[in-house]
């Protein structure tokens, strides 16, 4: 039998190394993904490859029994099992079933209005990365028993580390068990989990069915992407080889059946699933399998009643012998009238219309003929065969998939078994809804049907019709569940042409929408390739509203309050490497990604629009300044000379925050003002970790002068942390405008939302304007991060707030300039400063001791100086006066500068300012008695007229 990874291995040099069982468990395919081109395709997961339900379910049961043996019954009863959406939701359920004593929850990408989150995390390599945790019981994850995390594969460990990091911070526990079908970590990744466990002070065990690794040659990502592009171009419709024709007759019907789902029982595990609910489902499965069998018979004869719209789930599917197509159509039109969202859309017996999007790449051979319906046939290599549509057959001996494991689904020694007689049926699940279809499949299999099981998916994978490739055919159809991330393509693999005589599509009522029944929808796609189509609908489950508990709170000690309605709908923070060049644990960006939107405008054009009142500065972005070689050399020289000085300021401000803001049982939550504050927030986090072993949460939020702080970001923070723990962080103060903006915005937010506790005080690295109480220094010196734009700030743009891009329930926007990666010095800046932490420790201790006993009341000296300069130079607008080295640098990089005021004798910190001024032809004027090292003046020509002969601004007449 040909290994289904051969095609990829031969073309890309990819090798599967490890246990002998691996080739039977995994094949290879290619996908459209900028992070990882290859895809490990499991033959026992039931996702991309149709497989016997008993094999899929048995694989998870066996792993669950091993977990129970590891933990013992007492610890197993205290544990919680957590599975990953979308691929491992059924696997996690099966593990929980094998464990027997523990409740189950799986992550989800479908938010539910009014349901507060218990957490969330990022899966960096996935096609859709954000995971939500929405248990009906807010205390489900708050216990201290073992947490069992289940995924289909353990490839790098990043997903598990991100999950454990996010949950351990809020619900610390002593033990974790990681479960996967295959452990495919590389040698470089093997020690990370142990090191992470030691850092947390917790035990982490790992259980897998098989282990190995994937050896990837250099340049495999680029080669894989090129191969995908070549095949998609070569085989797209109209460009050469067309998809194979369907033999399904026009007007083929489908049958809908609403299942007798046990009342109050969740349809899956996204809101939790208890051992008692598991028992109730087991009891109900035979009856539901009987209803599906009845529906399959009805599909064969076409003699079924059209169910009335609004009929409660569980109504019978009745035979109606002799009904004509016209009578059925009339019944449909009458009974469907007034159907609401979530009810069935379209007739029970529905004619197929419109085109079918099937992609089958590679050579297509003629179907063999002469087989009877339902008969397994075809070459053992998995070539084209089968009576229905000239399609793919599975392996001739599917027990071979189980033999390398040495056991059958129920744990007994494996032995070949003849395939059941009768039609070959596919039970097809829907994205995260995997467990209910799987258990219906096992019940049908136990009733004697020849059943395979798989599910639809979001993941775009290349299809190549070759026995040595894991994904042979692909159906493409639009999403049909009104997803939170908007419309898009969905896929069903190895379904078309696989020789199935019938398909049972299982969806929840939320997904039973017009899009499912549309001419290009999934039902039409299935009907074009499979003679009998049954749509089985289970009622969607929405938990009753539960008391709101903050993200990091323990239910026993937290008074329940009502959640802001929109907080549960806000997305999780963006993190690197998908967004920013910072490591994911360094910062979470409470922004929306606008990287694909053209926002840049020429500097002079922006300045005119801003000063004329035609646009706000936050509605567009300046073109990113690309520093010359000379300027970059200046940056690195400045970093070398000032790294220790910055490290001392970082240590001083961090120790001050810890001394004044840390409370028993609480740690500060750093919230930097993007983007200038973000490198400082990362450095403060590193200091706390290096000096005290503290892992402080750090987020970046947007604040816009004249518009305030992002209120949705504050809602998210209030939903996940105690507002009293939040410490706002910025790089430096100028005249104090942002300090005042934040104070006003917090006051307005608390009045509107009823959420209190946020402290508007900002902690800054440098406070030359004497605007805040918490600072590292009040000297105005060169902070090298002010010398550059995105290339020293994680490749993130300044934030954007524009009505057509940012809705009332959206985070402010930002761009990730991936294309500037070659010039990125963000982490070099952080590392250079952090490397000096040890040598400045004693100086920091002395500084903090002095500061904590000193009068640090802001004098607002800088504001007074700005007002004086504004009047003296005839500008009459303090917003055009930018004091301090950092703000002056911004004027030269992002605005239209008029002139620079330099404090006489401050040359040591102004080399880069003078260089930029020289490059832009801006005069530098030496002045005395300036509280700052320099001040940048924005050209006032668009507000008060041009400048006069005396160099002062003049008012237009």
pLDDT at 536 over 50: yes
Cis upstream peptide for 793 (omega within 30°): no
Q: In a 10 Å sphere around its CB, with 0-12 CB exposed, 13-18 middle and 19+ buried, how is residue 562 labelled?
A: exposed
Task: Name the more confident of 467 and 358.
Answer: 467
> By CB neighbour count within 10 A (0-12 exposed, 13-18 middle, 19+ buried), where does 538 fall?
buried
Exposed/middle/buried for residue 107 (C-beta within 10 Å: 0-12, 13-18, 19+): buried
Higher pLDDT, 946 or 814: 814
Other CB atoms within a 10 A radius of the CB of residue 862 amount to 25
Q: Quick one: pLDDT at residue 78? A: 93
pTM: 0.53
Give the length of the chain.
Answer: 957
Q: Does position 652 have pLDDT exceeding 90, yes or no?
A: yes
Q: Which one is predicted more confidently, 323 or 43? A: 43
Q: Stretch 87-110: mean pLDDT, rounded?
A: 90
Determine contact, residues 862/888, Cβ cutoff 8 Å: no
Main-chain phi, psi angles of 856, to 5 degrees: -105, 20
CB 720 within 8 A of CB 551: yes
Residue reference for tokens 């078309």:
496
Residue 148 has pLDDT above 80, yes or no: yes
> 191-232: per-residue pLDDT in tens?
888 888 888 888 999 999 999 988 888 888 788 788 888 887
pLDDT of residue 33: 65
The gap from C-alpha 370 to its chain's centroid, in whole angstroms, comes to 49
User: Which tens digits make up the pLDDT trace of 352-369?
Assistant: 333 334 443 433 322 222
**pLDDT at residue 802, as a whole number:** 81
- The dihedral region occupied by 245, where left means phi > 0, alpha psi between -120 and 50, and beta the remainder, is beta
Question: Among candidates 557, 560, 481, which has minimal Cα distance to 522?
Answer: 481
Per the model's pLDDT, the better-predicted residue between 289 and 662 turns out to be 289
Written as one string, the DSSP assignment of 56-109 is: HHHHHHHHHHHHHHHH-HHHHHT-EEEE-TTTTHHHHHHHHHHH-SS-EEE-BS
φ, ψ for residue 24, nearest 5 deg: -80, -20
Please write the tens of the pLDDT for every residue from 599-641: 776 655 555 555 555 455 567 677 776 667 777 777 787 788 8
Sole residue written with tokens 């070959």: 424
Q: pLDDT digits over 523-533, tens only?
A: 999 999 999 99
- pLDDT at 240 (0 to 100): 30
User: pLDDT: is 127 or 215 the higher one?
Assistant: 215
The pLDDT, as a whole number, for residue 401 is 39
pLDDT band at 270 (very low <50, low <70, confident <90, very high): confident
Residue 726: per-residue pLDDT: 93
pLDDT of the residue at 559 = 31
For the packed helices 826-834 and 629-661, what is the interaxial angle rounded to 10 degrees?
A: 60
474-520: per-residue pLDDT in tens? 999 999 987 766 678 899 999 999 999 999 999 998 899 989 999 99
Share of the chain above pLDDT 70, in %: 74
Per-residue pLDDT for 332 more than 70?
no
In tens, the pLDDT along 273-311 reads 888 888 888 888 999 999 899 888 877 654 433 232 233
Helix 435-446 vs helix 53-71: angle between axes, to the nearest 10 degrees? 110
Given the DSSP bridges, would you call strands 502-508 and 532-538 parallel, antiparallel or unpaired? parallel
Label residue 667 by pLDDT band (50, 70, 90). Answer: confident
Q: Look at residue 443 and tell me whether its pLDDT is greater than 90.
A: yes
- The answer on pLDDT for 956 being more than 50 is no
The structure tokens 């998939």 sit at 401
User: How is the chain split among helix, strand and coil, in percent rounded to 5?
Assistant: 35, 20, 45
Gap between the Cα atoms of 667 and 665, Å rounded: 7
pLDDT at 655: 95
Say which residues have a Cβ less than 8 Å from residue 800's Cβ, sequence separation at least 6.
Answer: 594, 599, 618, 619, 620, 621, 806, 812, 813, 814, 815
| Three-class SS state of 20 | coil
Q: Which of 465-469, 596-600, 933-937 tops mean pLDDT?
A: 465-469
Closest to 542 (Cα-Cα) out of 519, 568, 560? 568
Which helix (DSSP H) or strand (DSSP E) does residue 938 occupy? strand 934-938
Per the CB < 8 A criterion, the answer to whether 25 and 182 are in contact is yes
Predicted pLDDT at 557: 29
Q: Cα 669–674–677 angle (5° rounding)?
A: 70
For residue 123, pLDDT over 80 is answered with no
d(CA 484, CA 703): 26
d(CA 292, CA 294): 5
pLDDT at 679 over 80: yes
Sort residue 891 into left (φ over 0), alpha (ψ -120 to 50) or beta: alpha
Q: How far is CA 591 from CA 564, 700, 748, 810, 849, in A?
A: 19, 8, 21, 8, 37
Structure tokens at 949: 């002969």
**pLDDT above 80: residue 79:** yes
The residue-averaged pLDDT of 697-725 equals 88
Beta-carbon contacts of residue 750 (< 8 Å; ≥ 6 apart): 756, 758
Tokens at 842, concatenated: 């004693």
In 3-state terms, what secondary structure has residue 249? coil
Mean residue pLDDT of the chain comes to 76
For 473, how many CA atoms within 13 A lie in the half-sphere containing its CB? Answer: 30
Tokens encoding 155: 């490839």
> pLDDT tens-digit profile of 844-880?
999 999 999 888 888 887 778 788 888 888 877 877 8
- Please confirm whether the linkage preceding 370 is cis (ω < 30° from 0): no
542: helix, coil or strand? coil
Of 90-99, 551-560, 842-851, 935-944, the one with minimum mean pLDDT is 551-560
How far apart are alpha carbons 576 and 584 in whole angstroms? 5
Q: With 70 as the cut, is the pLDDT of residue 257 above it?
A: yes
Instruction: Give the 3-state secondary structure of residue 633.
Output: helix
- pLDDT bin (cut points 50, 70, 90) of residue 894 is low
Dist CA 710 CA 164 (whole Å)? 28
Report the range of poorest mean pLDDT among 268-282, 322-336, 542-556, 579-593: 322-336
| 3-state secondary structure at position 155 | coil
Q: What mean pLDDT is predicted for residues 809-836?
A: 90
- Rounded to an integer, what distance in angstroms lies between the CA atom of residue 315 and that of residue 344? 13
Q: What percent of the chain has pLDDT over 90?
A: 30
* Of the candidates 554, 548, 516, the residue with the CA atom closest to the CA atom of residue 535: 516
Tell me the pLDDT tens digit for each residue of 399-442.
433 333 333 444 443 444 445 557 899 999 999 999 999 999 99
**What is the SS3 assignment for 347-394?**
CCCCCCCCCCCEECCCCCCCCCCCCCCCCCCCCCCCCECCCCCCCECC
Helices (H), 89-146: 89-99
Say whether pLDDT at 545 is over 60.
no
> Range with the lowest mean pLDDT among 501-515, 565-579, 759-773?
565-579
């Amino acid at each position: 039998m040909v290994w289904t990874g051969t095609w990829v291995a031969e073309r890309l040099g990819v090798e599967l190394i490890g246990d002998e069982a691996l080739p039977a468990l995994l094949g290879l395919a290619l996908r459209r993904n900028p992070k990882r081109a290859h895809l490990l395709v499991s033959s026992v997961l039931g996702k991309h490859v149709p497989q016997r339900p008993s094999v899929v379910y048995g694989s998870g049961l066996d792993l669950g029994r091993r977990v129970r043996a590891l933990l013992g019954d007492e610890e197993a009863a205290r544990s919680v099992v957590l599975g990953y959406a979308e691929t491992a939701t059924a696997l996690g359920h099966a593990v929980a079933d094998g464990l027997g004593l523990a409740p189950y929850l799986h992550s989800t990408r479908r938010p539910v209005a009014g349901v507060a989150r218990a957490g969330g995390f990022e899966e960096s390599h996935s096609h859709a990365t954000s995971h939500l945790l929405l248990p009906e019981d807010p205390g489900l994850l708050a216990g201290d028993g073992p947490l069992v995390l289940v995924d289909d594969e353990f490839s790098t460990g990043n997903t598990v580390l991100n999950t454990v990091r996010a949950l351990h911070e809020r619900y610390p526990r002593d033990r974790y068990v990681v479960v996967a079908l295959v452990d495919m970590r590389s040698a470089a990744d093997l020690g990370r989990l142990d090191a992470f466990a030691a850092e947390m002070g917790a035990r982490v065990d790992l259980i897998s069915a098989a282990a190995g690794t994937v050896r990837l040659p250099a340049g495999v990502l680029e080669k894989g992407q090129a191969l995908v592009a070549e095949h998609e171009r070569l085989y797209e419709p109209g460009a050469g080889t067309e998809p194979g024709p369907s033999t399904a007759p026009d007007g083929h019907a489908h049958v809908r059946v609403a299942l007798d789902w046990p009342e109050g029982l969740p349809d899956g595990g996204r809101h939790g699933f208890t051992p008692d609910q598991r028992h109730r489902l087991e009891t109900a499965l035979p009856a539901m399998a009987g209803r599906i069998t009845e529906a399959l018979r009805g599909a064969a004869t076409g003699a079924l009643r059209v169910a009335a719209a609004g009929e409660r789930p569980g109504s019978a599917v009745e035979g109606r012998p002799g009904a004509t197509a016209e009578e059925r159509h009339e019944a449909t039109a009458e009974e469907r009238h007034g159907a609401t969202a979530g009810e069935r859309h379209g007739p029970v017996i529905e004619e197929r219309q419109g085109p079918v999007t099937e992609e089958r790449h590679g050579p297509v051979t003629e179907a063999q003929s002469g087989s009877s319906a339902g008969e397994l046939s075809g070459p053992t290599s998995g070539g084209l065969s089968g009576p229905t549509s000239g399609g793919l057959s599975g392996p001739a001996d599917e027990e071979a998939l189980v033999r390398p494991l040495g056991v059958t689904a129920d744990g007994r020694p494996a032995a070949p078994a003849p395939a059941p007689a009768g039609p070959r049926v596919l039970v097809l699940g829907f994205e995260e809804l995997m467990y209910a279809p799987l258990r219906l499949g096992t019940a049908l299999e136990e009733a004697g049907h020849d059943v395979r099981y798989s599910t639809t998916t979001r993941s775009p994978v290349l299809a190549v019709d070759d026995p040595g490739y894991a994904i042979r055919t692909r159906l493409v159809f639009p999403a049909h569940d009104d997803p939170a991330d908007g419309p898009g393509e969905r896929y069903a693999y190895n379904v078309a042409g696989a020789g199935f005589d019938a398909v049972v599509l299982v969806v929840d009522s939320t997904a039973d929408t017009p899009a499912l029944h549309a001419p290009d929808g999934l039902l039409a796609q299935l009907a074009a390739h499979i003679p009998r189509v049954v749509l089985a609908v289970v009622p969607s489950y929405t938990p009753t509203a539960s008391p709101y508990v903050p993200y990091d709170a323990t239910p026993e000690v937290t008074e329940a309050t009502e959640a802001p309605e929109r907080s549960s709908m806000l997305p999780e923070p963006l993190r690197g490497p998908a967004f920013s060049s910072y490591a994911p644990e360094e910062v979470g960006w409470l922004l929306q990604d606008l990287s694909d939107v053209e926002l840049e405008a020429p500097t002079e054009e922006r300045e005119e629009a801003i000063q004329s009142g035609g646009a706000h500065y936050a509605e567009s972005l300046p073109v990113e300044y690309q520093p010359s070689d000379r300027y970059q050399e200046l940056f690195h020289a400045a970093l070398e000379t000032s790294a220790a000085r910055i490290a001392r300021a970082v240590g001083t401000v961090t120790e001050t925050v810890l001394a004044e803001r840390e409370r028993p049982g609480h740690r500060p939550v750093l919230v930097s003002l993007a983007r200038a504050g973000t490198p400082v927030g990362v450095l403060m986090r590193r200091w706390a970790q290096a000096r005290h072993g503290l892992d402080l949460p750090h987020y970046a939020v947007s604040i816009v002068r004249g518009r305030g702080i992002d209120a949705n970001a504050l809602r998210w923070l209030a939903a996940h942390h105690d507002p009293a723990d939040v410490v706002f962080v910025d790089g430096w103060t100028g005249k104090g405008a942002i300090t005042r903006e934040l104070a006003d915005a917090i006051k307005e937010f608390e009045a509107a939302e009823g959420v209190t506790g946020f402290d508007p005080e900002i902690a800054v690295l440098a406070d030359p304007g004497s605007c805040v109480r918490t600072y590292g220094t009040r000297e105005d010196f060169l902070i090298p991060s002010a010398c550059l734009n995105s290339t020293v700030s994680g490749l993130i743009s300044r934030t954007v707030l524009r009505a057509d891009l940012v809705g009332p329930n959206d985070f402010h926007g930002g761009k990730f300039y991936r294309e500037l990666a070659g010039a990125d010095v963000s982490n070099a800046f952080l590392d250079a400063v952090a490397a000096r932490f040890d040598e400045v420790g004693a100086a920091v201790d002395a500084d903090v001791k002095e500061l904590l006993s000193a009068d640090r009341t802001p004098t607002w000296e800088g504001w007074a100086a700005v007002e004086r300069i504004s009047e003296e130079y005839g500008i009459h607008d303090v917003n055009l006066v930018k004091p301090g080295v950092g703000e002056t640098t911004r004027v030269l990089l992002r605005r239209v500068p008029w002139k620079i005021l330099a404090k006489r004798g401050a040359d040591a910190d102004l080399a880069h300012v003078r260089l930029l001024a020289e490059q832009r032809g801006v005069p530098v004027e030496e002045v005395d008695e300036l509280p700052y090292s320099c001040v940048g003046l924005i050209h006032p020509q668009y507000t008060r007229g041009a400048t006069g002969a005396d160099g002062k601004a003049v008012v237009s007449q």
